[in-house]
Structure 1
Amino acid sequence: MKINLKQIFNIVGEKKDFSYEIAPEEFGDIKGFSFGSDVSLSGKLYNRAGVVYLDYTAVFKLLHTCDRCLKEFSREYDLSFDHIVVPSVSNDDNDDYIVADGESIELNEVALNDILLSLPTKVLCREDCKGLCMVCGCDLNESQCDHLN
């Protein structure tokens, strides 16, 4: 969703609320991630004292494979993000702000980047997952084998 920020940049106190869904198909080409639901975004853009802020939450479900026992499971996420949005920056080496290209931002792209950077690198089906036996491959969460002794 492309949001035009011209009015928000120019008027102190101006505010724009948003709430919409992104279909999982829009994120389908991201290797290693499978969205199990729409990504629900809701938040606001506002100008406080001449500085434009973006605050929003992303609610979604991801389908995972446990890194220890290889079971498939789904997990819900409710993540919050906040950014400062600027019309331009003087150098290209900038990770502190979102730069509005032509006084607008592509919110889907911002949200996708935020989501991917916030997800854990190691995903377990449960905190105490025992994994698989290194000898016979049985799931140690469901049964015991003689190889552990």
Structure 2
Amino acid sequence: MRIDLRQLFDIVGERKTFDLSLDFSDEEYNGEHPFQMPVKVSGQIENKAQVVRLFFSVKFVLNLHCDRCMGEFERAYDFSFQHVLVRKLNTDNDEYVVCEDSQLDLDELVRADLFLELPSKVLCTEDCKGLCGQCGRNLNFDSCECEKKSIDPRLEVLGKLLE
């Protein structure tokens, strides 16, 4: 969604609100397509004292696989963002969003903010025990009888020094 900001840049006190749903079902994250439901975006853009600010929040649910136990789970997210919008910029500064021709590509900005906020490691729970390295059993639901004190074959020689 492209938003025309000419009026917002020119008139102090001007405000524009928005409420939309974005389809990110084709987006890939951690090798999956976890956006099975639309991403809800709501917010406003306002000109206060000739500073144009964008405030928005995103709400969505991801269908993911845990990085430790490979179990499938859903997690709801709710993020809030804010940006200062400018028509042009004379220096390299990441704090501002440049709106060329007073146009804002809201979809692309939401996509970038959302993906930067997502965690790089996805766990079903903070205390996920993962899978047994020997038998592959999910340790969150079962215990296994595997010998816990296995030595990495590359380090076996060092163990002989202690004998």
TM-score normalised by the chain length of structure 2? 0.85
Match of 2:44 in 1: 44
One-letter amino acid of the structure 2 residue matched with residue 14 of structure 1: E
One-letter amino acid of the structure 2 residue matched with residue 34 of structure 1: P
Structure 2 regions of 5+ residues with no counterpart? Answer: 150-163
RMSD (CA atoms): 1.3
Q: Percent identity?
A: 42
Match of 2:93 in 1: 94
Larger Rg: 2
Aligned 8 A contact 1:36 1:60 in 2: no
- Quick one: distance in 2 between partners of 1:29 and 1:114? 14
Q: Does the residue aligned with 1:7 lie in a helix, a strand or coil? A: helix
- Quick one: distance in 2 between partners of 1:76 and 1:36? 12
Aligned 8 A contact 2:2 2:103 in 1: yes
- Quick one: distance in 2 between partners of 1:121 and 1:31? 9
- Quick one: distance in 1 between partners of 2:137 and 2:104? 49
Aligned 8 A contact 1:36 1:74 in 2: no
The reply to whether residue 141 of structure 1 matches residue 140 of structure 2 is yes
- Quick one: distance in 2 between partners of 1:104 and 1:30? 27
Match of 2:16 in 1: 16
Match of 2:28 in 1: 30
TM-fit CA distance, 1:2: 0.3
- Quick one: distance in 1 between partners of 2:27 and 2:56? 24
Q: Does the residue aligned with 2:77 lie in a helix, a strand or coil? A: strand
Match of 2:156 in 1: none
User: Cα gap change, 1:78/1:65 in structure 2, threshold over 3 Å: closer, same or farther?
Assistant: same
Post-superposition Cα deviations, 1:32-83, rounded to whole Å, max 9, x if no partner, equal 2521210110000000000000000001111111011001111111110000
Aligned 8 A contact 1:40 1:59 in 2: yes
Match of 1:55 in 2: 55
- Quick one: distance in 2 between partners of 1:31 and 1:145? 32
TM-score normalised by the chain length of structure 1? 0.93
Match of 1:103 in 2: 102
TM-fit CA distance, 1:31: 4.5
Q: Does the residue aligned with 2:112 lie in a helix, a strand or coil? A: helix
